Amino acid sequence: MILIENAAIATVDEAGREFTTGHVLVGDDGRIAAVGAGAATGVIGEVRRIDGRGCLVTPGLVNTHHHLYQWVTRGLALDETLFGWLTTLYPIWGRLDAGIVGAAAGAGLGWLALSGCTTSMDHHYVFPRDGGDVLAAEIEAARAIGVRFHPTRGSMDLSRKDGGLPPDHLVEDTDEALAATEAAIDRWHDPSPESMLQIAVAPCSPFSVTTRLMTESAELARRKGVRLHTHLAETDDEEEFCLRQFGCKPVEYAERVGWLGDDVWLAHGVHLDDSAIARLGATGTGVAHCPSSNARLGAGSARVRELLDHGVPVGLGVDGAASQEVSHLGAELRQALYTARLRGGPKAMNARESLRLGTIGGARCLGRQDDIGSLEVGKLADLVMWRLDGLGHDGIDDHVAALVFGPPARVDLALVGGRPIVERGELVNADADTLTATARTAHRRLLEIS
Ligand SMILES: [Zn+2]
């Protein structure tokens, strides 16, 4: 058992309960046994006591959109639009293999854990023919770091010769992609409440996937009882592509191919008109909001205030490390707040709403809201203790404001199911220097740097 004492606590539960000084007790089953104000009472048995003075405890952050493999292609195509950036990077990604993806995933997930993330998805859609088992490689990396992992089996089957964006050698045959996706679900997906590993089905985007693959992916996911994810409404270029190819806007296209519903979450949702937002709200379709990536690519800013007002589940995502080199989920809390305010003024979002996006909002996108995303008795003990008494934060007396408005805070403790994955700002199960060196070697091999 672990008992955190003397910490400020933001539960992010339905009532938004917060305690200036409180405790969290984690039971032997990896679930929260008690959370409340003041000292814990009646704690019996062997317990590790952690002094949380000067810290804020929140639910662990949930990353709802990422491409871990991109860690080894950071710092390239720095001044491009999405389509320019993709066409620059596709040829490099065509040389990916399991060793490179494993190294990238280890670095990316280690960095995410240090930024307060306890659950991450990954959207992997590049499967070079001789690349080996890249999905297995990133799953192994996630196990080594200790994060709860929701990798998706992505796919692309619409190449340049058929009117798509990716080069011909980078796409899969439609039937092969579907079969490999089903095999990944059968091999890896664990639907249990404690699950550390769940697979979702994730064809890449309207401009890299055929209508048939979209439709049959939705059918496959529903037959298997897993979730659906794709990129949608990210840029003006994508909207023009949809109007030209399908005669409708992205969300109308998604609806046509069976892709709206409470088992779907969409990456970005930047270019949405009022009727699209209303459709997402009415169908319970989620959105992974990636404000830093959208800014880095100059894609636009999502209408998050309107999405929330329509009841759309919205989570935060860092997106691939090559489209925003920070890849720090804790920092995304502030970026989301600032993006909303640049659009709608200072009332458009507050610090607590931003924290909700990063925690329970993300859990809803992944379908895990019953088990993670808030600090409540009976939920899994996925939590983060942020240090807020140093030079960067001290004196901001509202702890949630200090976390969101202040500089990225050091993670003093991150628990996943009650097991520490970060302590005192260091990874527990891996060595950051080793992750760095391994990723550097993979980067040099991929870029053919001698
Ligand atoms: Zn993406």
Summarised one tens digit per residue, pLDDT across range 80-105 is 999 999 999 999 999 999 999 999 99
Mean local confidence (pLDDT), 296-309: 98
Q: Indicate whether 450 pLDDT > 90.
A: no
Ligand 1 centroid from CA 234, angstroms: 9
Q: Indicate whether 400 pLDDT > 80.
A: yes
Mean local confidence (pLDDT), 152-176: 96
Neighbours of 112 (CB within 10 A): 25
pTM, full prediction: 0.98
**Gap between the Cα atoms of 187 and 168, Å rounded:** 28
Residue 50, strand partner residues: 4
pLDDT of res. 370: 98
Ligand 1 centroid from CA 103, angstroms: 19
Q: Tell me if 57 sits within 8 A of 11, measured CB to CB.
A: no
CA distances in angstroms from 224 to 114, 220, 346, 414, listed in the order given: 34, 6, 44, 32
Residues around the ion ligand 1 (C-beta < 5 A): 319
Residue 124, strand partner residues: 153
pLDDT of res. 44: 85
pLDDT of res. 45: 86
Residue 115's pLDDT band, with cuts at 50, 70 and 90, is very high
Ligand 1 centroid from CA 268, angstroms: 8
pLDDT of res. 122: 98
Second-level CATH architecture of 61-366: Alpha-Beta Barrel (3.20)
Ligand 1 centroid from CA 320, angstroms: 6
Mean local confidence (pLDDT), 381-395: 98
Residue 322's pLDDT band, with cuts at 50, 70 and 90, is very high
Ligand 1 centroid from CA 7, angstroms: 36
pLDDT of res. 208: 96
Ligand 1 centroid from CA 267, angstroms: 7
Ligand 1 centroid from CA 52, angstroms: 36
Ligand 1 centroid from CA 230, angstroms: 8
CATH topology identical between 2-59+378-427 and 61-366: no
The whole-chain average pLDDT of the chain stands at: 97
Percent of the chain exceeding pLDDT 90 equals 98
**Gap between the Cα atoms of 109 and 416, Å rounded:** 13
Ligand 1 centroid from CA 48, angstroms: 40
Ligand 1 centroid from CA 105, angstroms: 15
Question: Kind of pairing, strands 55-59 and 2-10?
Answer: parallel
Domain ranges of the chain: 2-59+378-427, 61-366
Q: Indicate whether 302 pLDDT > 90.
A: yes
Q: Tell me if 372 sits within 8 A of 119, measured CB to CB.
A: yes
Does 2-59+378-427 carry CATH code 2.30.40.10? yes
pLDDT of res. 117: 98
CA distances in angstroms from 385 to 8, 18, 30, 266, listed in the order given: 9, 14, 16, 29
Render pLDDT for 75-84 as a digit per residue (tens, 0 to 9): 999 999 999 9
Nearest partner of 4 among 44, 45, 32, 42, judged by Cα: 32
Residue 40's pLDDT band, with cuts at 50, 70 and 90, is very high
Ligand 1 centroid from CA 135, angstroms: 17
Ligand 1 centroid from CA 317, angstroms: 9
pLDDT of res. 22: 98
